[in-house]
Amino acid sequence: MAGAFVLVLGMAISAQAQGAHVSAGATPNLLTYSAGGGAGFGGEGAGPTNFNTLPHIPPARFQATAVSGNSNDFVPSTFVPYKIAVAEGRWILAETPRSLGEFARSYDASSRAKAKFELVQDHHGHPVIRRR
């Protein structure tokens, strides 16, 4: 019986800590909702509780812009002159696309740089950097 009393008393004390206490006028620009409180178990009334919410902001809308022009509208690039860039673009567009198998075969045939060092474990399990 005494154990049940201590358990109920412990719950009643922790229930008071769950109440939200907001000072009046702390957030005047936010929307607030007040809910009336009732009498808690074995305690006094909780009073009004304020739920602060953020103001509604509509989602951002981004617009896409199509760009067109000619050589008179062109602003020179610091990397490639206009005529070379146009020629390269036409060459890329005229190139026939490769299949995934063709791309894989050309990747396998190309030579890749080998690592000069490798990370291995010694007989104790400690990492060791070794030159290849």
Q: pTM here? A: 0.21
In angstroms, rounded to a whole number, what is the distance separating the alpha carbons of residues 112 and 103? 15
Q: Where are the domains of the chain?
A: 72-110
Question: Taking Cα atoms as reference points, which of 31, 26, 23, 35 lies closest to residue 53?
Answer: 31
Q: Which helix (H) or strand (E) holds 118?
A: strand 117-121
pLDDT of residue 15: 56
Residues 43-87: tens digit of each pLDDT: 455 666 777 788 888 888 878 777 677 767 666 656 788 898 899
